[in-house]
Structure 1
Amino acid sequence: MLDIADELHRWARQGRPFAVATVVATSGSAPRQPGAALAVDGDGTAVGSVSGGCVEGAVYELCQEALRTGETVLERFGYSDEDAFAVGLTCGGVIDILITPVRPYGAEEPGRDAAAESEAPAAVITTALAAAASGEAAAVARVVRGPAHLLGHALFVRPDGTATGTLGGHPDLDRTALHETRALLDAGRTATVEVGADGSRCGEPVTLLVESSVPAPRMIVFGAIDFAAALVRAGKFLGHHVTVCDARPVFATRARFPDADEIVVDWPHRYLETQDLDARTVLCVLTHDAKFDVPLLERALRLPVAYVGAMGSRRTHLDRLDRLRAAGLTELELNRLRSPIGLDLGARTPEETALSIAAEIIANRRGGTGTPLTGAHTPIHHDAPTALERMGPVSAA
């Protein structure tokens, strides 16, 4: 839902009622992941997608029905062998979709308590949409499975741990949901979480969909070379906020990197030490010069970032490893280094090399193998562990 926050926030500000259908669970080869949404306003205008086209028509009708009834419903769509023309997913997957009607800002019912109104699911959703549309880091947790009276209740959580709304059950359920939601927000992840209705890990289960909206993940490209210019374009295409850093002002210029969000002239390791990085950050070291690379990688490989890759030949890589060992890095830390950088695509040009690096970043993020799908028996979609889970304990820098 938060992936279409800009449009939904605009509808809400205009006082347009709408219903939003959100993917809350998938299995098999479902085309969209939890959090993907389709919304329909009172005039029948639609935005977003939940299946890439397979069940859009049926979900559109469910949204219109929710606008008429004001009721939140959970629907499941799967593949039908019995009727090839039945509404379902031709890819063979299964998706569960939550349809929630949302009243616009200022549409309070006469006599309704204002405090209760602010806790209502629709009000919580509009608050979350406003935050996401403004670029703030925010998350919303909604009950998608459990006791019927809790379905659709929502809790909006900010990075500082403050929250708005309620899941409508035991007070400890809100407290547990707050902690779980804040952890996912810190990692910038959207996922489902199962807790007990009383907030414990036992008892009647309640499934929450937690959607996180965070600023674009960062890509920092060290080394203002021609390959870097192509990688900047690839990084922007993947949705990253891209910074180019190089100690040489003659190369680190806006004219050479018009697509970069930032261009920094500084020694790479010194710049890295000033940055507050998270578990989604991607670091690409393209200088392949020991005086830049070694002090930079010595620090980078001890940070809880998503990816650290370094360009260079295999001989350069082996020499680099020896220098990093001499600097005190452990084998566990060295194993995090992707070098030579990129997947084996046979790339030669800067653009081909950028595609090779981008492919490795995606595979690392999603848990892919880089194996051709033709003839392979690997899943098409993967659920990768977080960067923190992959790297294990982090030593002090």
Structure 2
Amino acid sequence: MRDIATQVLDWDAAGQSYAVASVVAVRGSAPREVGAAVAVRADGAVAGSVSGGCVEAAVHELAERALEQGRPIVETFGVADAENPFAPGLTCGGELEVFVQPMRRPASGPVVEALRVVVAAERVGAEAGEPVALARVVRGPERAVGAAIAVYRDRHTGSTGDDALDRVVVAEARAMSEQGGTGLRAVCLDGVAETTIFVESWVTAPRMLVFGAIDYAAALAAVGRFLGYRVTVCDARPIFATSARFPHAHEVVVEWPHRYLARTATDERTVVCVLTHDPKFDVPVLVEALRRPLAYVGALGSRRTHEDRTRRLRAAGMTDAELGRLRSPIGLDLGARTPEETAVSIVAEIVAARRGGGGAPLSTVDGSIHHEPARVFPA
């Protein structure tokens, strides 16, 4: 639901009725992940997607029905029926379970509040944002289905209508939030029917740190932002490191790269792209980066530049294991030449590292198209 947060908040602020359909479970190959969502307004307007087109029309009808009936609906979509070309289904052979909820108070209150926190976090930045987990009852006691609880670090809002069940749901949601997890969970409580909740963990956005205020950095900032990263461009040269040159970056920092990285919080989702290909900038920042547990560290330059850079890094005390983490020359072999093509090459390598892909054309490999994530990233 994070992708449609701004639209949903606009509709809510305008007092418009709408329903949200969320993918709560995926089995086999499917076009979208758990957490994908589409919002349908009472007048038929749409924001988002749950299947990339396969079952959108059917989900749209479910949302209209949920709005009309005033209650949530759970529906499973499987393989398309070859004998009935008009029946909704997935052509990829997988299965989606979709939870459709009319967003009406009081149940929608915690949902809207949580989305406000998510949008605010994206505006203020990764370090200042507050993580939140949203738990909604998908199955269980009839009175509780559709109830929502928004869980934060030290508080929660909303209720299922049962204090004991609330405590269990909050504990489960908080545990999932700490792991950045999104998905279904079954919770059991004496005297209460087994309850299935859907938890969406919205942690702060992963960071992309781009060192080197060059034209390639401008293209990379645009694509990185599109992929959901909070992008910082850093360069020690104030004449080049300006917001006007990098309108897609969330922030532009004028500072020596290694000094900025040394004082900056990173985690295992952070990606670092060093584009300066100048030893006085490259070597110090790469020494700092390669000794951190980052998701990806890449450096731009020719093979000759890479060989020279490697010698300098070894002289600076880098081990074989540390150097083995460096992606250099940066990016996949796409034959890229322009800054925009090079940016695509770089993010393609980042996605492959993130998802465990090999980077080969799909037409030349067998097996599943969708890989399990190689690292934990936000839903």
Instruction: Say whether the fold is shared (TM-score over 0.5).
Output: yes
**Cα offsets for 1:242-297 (capped at 9, x unmatched):** 32222233433456445444332211110112222344332101122333222211
CA contact (8 A) 2:133 2:173 kept: no
Structure-2 residue corresponding to 1:47: 47
1:126 aligns with 2:112: yes
One of 157, 164, 175 as aligned partner of 1:164: 157
**Are residue 36 (structure 1) and residue 27 (structure 2) matched?**
no
Contact 1:161 / 1:178 at 8 angstroms: preserved in 2? no
Cα 1:193–1:68 change in 2 (3 A) is closer
Amino acid of the structure 2 residue aligned with 1:310: A
The runs of at least 4 aligned residues of structure 1 exceeding 6 Å deviation read: 146-149
Tell me the secondary structure at the aligned position of residue 374 of structure 1: helix
> What's the secondary structure of 2:363's corresponding residue?
coil
1:348 counterpart residue number: 337
Identity %: 53
Equivalent AA in structure 2 for residue 72 of structure 1: P
Counterpart code for 2:355: R
Aligned partner of 1:231 in structure 2 is: 220
Q: Which amino acid aligns with 2:113?
A: T
Amino acid across the alignment from 2:182: A
Match of 2:64 in 1: 64
Deviation for aligned residue 1:239: 3.9
Amino acid paired to 2:5:
A
> Per-residue displacement from partner, 1:40-74 (whole Å, max 9, x unpaired)?
33344333222223222222222222223332221
Pairing partner for 1:177 from 163, 169, 172: 172
- Give the secondary-structure state (helix, strand or coil) at the position aligned to 1:96: strand
Say if 2:310 is the partner of 1:314. no
Offset at 1:96?
Answer: 0.4
Contact 1:6 1:132 in 2 (8 A): no
CA drift of 1:75 comes to 0.7
Equivalent residue number for residue 339 of structure 1: 328
What pairs with 1:372-387 in structure 2 (closer than 5 Å)?
372-386=361-375
Amino acid across the alignment from 1:295: P
Q: 1:312 to 1:378 in 2, by over 3 A?
A: farther
Distance 1:129 1:38, change over 3 A: same
Which position in structure 2 is the counterpart of 1:281?
A: 270
Question: CA–CA distance in 2 between the matches of 1:387 and 1:330?
Answer: 26
Tell me the alpha carbon deviations over residues 277-336 of structure 1, each in whole angstroms, 9 at most, x when there is no partner: 344332101122333222211221233332211123334434444544454444443332
Contact 1:222/1:284 (8 A) holds in 2: yes
Of the three residues 132, 136, 139, the one matched with 1:142 is 136
- Structure 1 residue 142: deviation in Å? 2.5
- How far residue 213 of structure 1 moved from its aligned partner, in angstroms, is 3.7
| 1:295 matched residue in structure 2 | 284
Question: Would you say 1:271 and 2:224 are equivalent positions?
Answer: no
* Structure 2 CA distance for partners of 1:207 and 1:325, relative to 1, 3 Å: farther
SS in structure 2 at match of 1:174: helix
Residue 341 of structure 1, CA deviation: 0.8
**1:246 corresponding residue in structure 2:** 235
| Greater CA drift, 17-26 or 51-60 | 51-60
For normalisation by structure 2, the TM-score amounts to: 0.83
SS at match of 2:362: coil
TM-score under structure 1 length normalisation: 0.80
Which segment is superposed worse, 190-199 or 363-372? 190-199
Cα distance between partner residues in 2 of 1:237 and 1:123: 29
Gaps in structure 2 of 5+ consecutive residues? 122-128
